[in-house]
Copies of this chain bind each other. A is one copy, B any other.
Amino acid sequence: MVDGEERRAHIADAVLRLAAKGGLHAVSLRAVAAESGLNIGSVRHYFDSQHELMRFAMRTTIDRTTARLVERREQTGSLSELPPGEVVGQLTDFLSELLPLDERRRTEVTVLVEFLLAARADPGLDDLAREAVQGTVTLARRILDAQARSGRFEPKDPEVEAPRLAALLDGLAFRAVLQPELTSPEECVAVLRAHLAEFVRPAGDTQV
């Protein structure tokens, strides 16, 4: 007996591989069937429409990214005992989960960019697009707030710093997806680290 959830995830994987390679244009029911090794009837059995398949694949992409972040967060543990330099390193590693630094993340980020752009002309994907775009700024705000409370970071204007960090992350991801030779993984990490390091309260400062 085939587990329905597992089969759906298997089909979503095929969608993501096709979209990462050739864009969403390349994702037809026929291509998904071929890529997943199923016949079109089976794909239709699990997804009533192309639209449902697209939503499921976009939902899967967002959920996998979130799951990676949660897992990484749990591995890291508390940062409150670390010196500021190490906090910057840990946060750089953590937020690098959103950057296309290896094959897995490259596929996910690429597909997410494709979906986000497709959602401009497809109101049926707008709630997921909002969730993804809002998600980055919410994550940035949480991290900056937590570090500000601990007295390690000193963001000048918290209202501006969260969208600024979100824009930097999305810009790095976008540039690295579009032109990997111009924006290498090493450069992405160096830029992110430099950005986070600027929040660190100067060494001489007394904490209030």
Contacts and interface: CB of A to CB of B under 8 A. Distances in A.
B178 A171 contact: no
A179 B130 CA distance: 7
A22 interface: yes
A166 interface: yes
Interface stretch (A9-17, A70-78, A81-89, A115-123): A115-123
A175 interface: yes
Interface in A150-173: 156-157, 160-161, 163-164, 166-172
A40 interface: no
A147 to B, nearest CB: 17
Tier of interface size on chain A:
35 or more
Contacts of A63: none
B120 A160 contact: no
Contacts of A190: 160
Contacts of A168: 164, 167-168, 171
Interface in A1-40: 21-23, 25-26
B166 A175 contact: yes
B157 A194 contact: yes
B179 A171 contact: no
Contacts of A171: 166-172, 174
Interface of A: 21-23, 25-26, 110, 113-114, 116-121, 129-130, 133-134, 137, 156-157, 160-161, 163-164, 166-172, 174-175, 177-179, 182-183, 187, 190-191, 194-195, 198
